[in-house]
Amino acid sequence: MQALLDNIRIVLVHTTHPGNIGAVARAMKNMGLSDLYLVSPKEYPSERAEWRAANAADTLAAAKVVDSLDEALQGCGLVVGTSARERRIPWPLFNPRECGERAVAEAVSHPVALIFGREDRGLTNEELHKCHYHVHIPSNPGYSSLNLAAAVQVLTYEVRMAALLVSDEMPGEMEWDIERSTADEVEHFFGHLEQVMVDIGFHDPDNPRQTMTRLRRLFNRARMDQMETGILRGVLTGIQHKLRKSDKDNKI
């Protein structure tokens, strides 16, 4: 069980109040999680974070501070972002229980990231577009605002409950012949795809509309494995070679 929990990381993006970081570390330790990533926190290290962490000082001390969300997601095969509201373009959505069950099932084979945004406005659309799924905590509509540590506590509780139901004999995620593409591999693919669409005149970066957002949703929903990502990038590279050859021939 502990190996599963160790493969699930909590990612906090641009946290403003250091006390919240300490409280998150405490919530994580309560549920047996220890892998904490901090993306450009406003104030850290901090005595206030240490004070709020209480007996979870070891979890706090082991936190990894990175400059970007992409760094925090490197190597992850499943990425779930917390979202407090409906989006213009709907995304595959978990409730907390489903989130815990899927996180534990996939932690058998690769790292899983659960992302939490800023205290005042959560995650940006761009950050949420990096996720395979979103998760919404169905709190009281009359007072739906959750403290950051409380939100982490809800999801890590569901992770622990799911992990308690898993034994060594129980299968996890369906066996696959190739490992899932990691978050960084998928990001490289999206960058490659967008560049090719610009090259062929299909996509205008100055008037992007919702093209890349919808393509991100499509490919994230497909959960590509590493061979599939490699094949698609090979196709994109082939298109680029054809374009360069055509340009060269036209100049002769």
What are the domain boundaries of the chain?
2-164, 183-251
Residues 6+ apart with CB under 8 A from 192: 233, 236, 237
Three-state SS at 40: coil
Tell me if 2-164 shares its fold with 183-251. no
Give the end-to-end CA distance of the chain in Å, rounded to a whole number: 65
Domain spanning 2-164: CATH superfamily = SPOUT methyltransferase, trefoil knot domain (3.40.1280.10)
For residue 144, the model assigns a pLDDT of 84
**Residue 79 in contact with residue 131, Cβ under 8 Å?**
yes
For residue 145, the model assigns a pLDDT of 84
Sequential DSSP letters for 41-96: -SS-S-HHHHHHHGGGHHHHHTPEEESSHHHHHTT-SEEEEE-SS--SS---EE-H
For residue 250, the model assigns a pLDDT of 78
For residue 168, the model assigns a pLDDT of 55
pLDDT tens per residue across span 217-234: 999 999 999 999 999 999
Amino acid identity of residue 158, one-letter, is E
For residue 251, the model assigns a pLDDT of 73
Residues of the chain with pLDDT under 50: 169
Q: Which fold has domain 183-251?
A: Helicase, Ruva Protein; domain 3 (1.10.8)
For residue 166, the model assigns a pLDDT of 84
| C-alpha span between 190 and 187 (Å, rounded) | 5
| C-alpha span between 69 and 74 (Å, rounded) | 9
For residue 86, the model assigns a pLDDT of 67
**Residue 30 in contact with residue 1, Cβ under 8 Å?**
no
